[in-house]
Chains A and B, each alone.
Chain A
């Protein structure tokens, strides 16, 4: 296997997903509209509580939008292949699982950044928000490093539809909902019941949201944010190989138990 084969292999997944988005562009418009309206509605709820709360809640909606796109695109790419029955063809192709999954992750990041940026622009224009005091470079760095963790979590979640098409998809959504609850997306984690709070500290999204709010609302500098950035980086660097390992073990199990086939 040479570099060309690896590159083509990764491009295959980006190109294929782009073709699918193009084909279902109507649904893309529907989901984007829904996400925009959702972010605006959440912002408006904040407006009833004071101007600061608008940004607080909008950051939650934005960050959650981005992270959930990453999580979904990676885990659902496997679910989609299971539904279509193409997973056997992808798995028997001469590309390593690393190239396969990295290709899907590359697409998820590009797609997530484009969609989240569109929503951000619309929200900023709608509320007339000024970002002059925000530390935008730090925002970008936090987004990238926290994206790594969610790629890792997405890889772990992708195991579920790999092993069971329908039940796996249910479980993926439950996992995502759990992250939404514990990560302080729309509230401080201190309002959670005491017994849930330890879980909040395990979620990378908790740190992403805190640091994003600090960079956007308080204009926190790199020095102040560095411990969290490093923490998120370490979490990502650990979670991606863990995700790959879990996925490869699940693939072995699926091949042993004959779970990849759709029919025949």
Chain B
């Protein structure tokens, strides 16, 4: 069974009297234990897709299934299998990292002791000093907050992890820590983990992802492994593929106008 199967997904929003197609008839599958990358410009529909898979947004048409469960009709079952990291590391900023993690642990049915052990282990591997776990989140840097967000998502042992631009805005060191941790987790044979990763960072997608889809205006314009895409577009780096693909799209839009 595929970890994720989307068929004909459509999501449109109304804004100032006009309709914006955030996700436009997207179909794809993600295999178990795969890291599936979605790259695209701002506003291309990456986060909308992640929100649909997170059961936070109801699609207008099409279906999305996570390990066979429909995200709309069987959202309760889906929620037990997933977790998510978003770009903005949303927390109760006035209370400590540990108090935020304990809150998340309770929601996922984890005991306090178990939660503490797991979160300290993950944070330690991310280079996060233990004593800072007890400081209010608002006193921590953006990179440290994002590491707490990574710990919050990983310590519930999800089968599908939705990483929505997890390294955007991080300094190079923090970015590397997060990327190394993701790789480590995937290489750990005891983990049954599938990841969907959205990013602006082509190098990150190239290094981490088994397959990458480029999304523009809510549509996947190309999909394949980084090496396949490089070969198909005759480019030496995924970044060049991205520029080529998005450039072509912009030209088409200009032509239509």
Q: What residues make up the interface of A, taking CB atoms closer than 8 Å to B?
A: 1-2, 4-5, 8-9, 11-12, 15-16, 19-20, 23-24, 84-86, 88-96, 252, 255-258, 260-264
Contact = CB atoms under 8 A, between A and B. Distances in A.
A12 B106 contact: yes
Interface stretch (B2-10, B82-90, B180-188): B82-90
Interface residues of B, number: 41
Contact of A263 (B11, B56, B80, B88): B88
B107 A95 contact: yes
Nearest to A9: B107
B55 interface: yes
12 contacts: A9-B106, A15-B99, A15-B102, A16-B95, A86-B90, A88-B56, A92-B55, A95-B107, A255-B55, A255-B56, A255-B58, A262-B88
Contacts of A93: 79, 104, 107-108
A264 B163 CA distance: 13
B90 A84 contact: yes
A84 B93 contact: yes
A5 B92 contact: no
Contacts of A20: 92, 94-95
Contacts of B152: 89
A136 B79 CA distance: 46
Contacts of B111: 8
A88 B90 contact: yes
Per CB-CB distance, the 6 closest pairs between chain A and chain B, nearest first, are: A12-B106, A85-B90, A5-B109, A93-B107, A94-B79, A19-B99
A256 B87 CA distance: 22
B57 A264 contact: no
B28 interface: no
Contacts of A16: 92, 95, 99, 103
B110 interface: yes
Contacts of B69: none
B109 A23 contact: no
Nearest to B54: A92
A253 to B, nearest CB: 10
A92 B56 contact: yes
B109 A4 contact: yes
Nearest to B83: A92
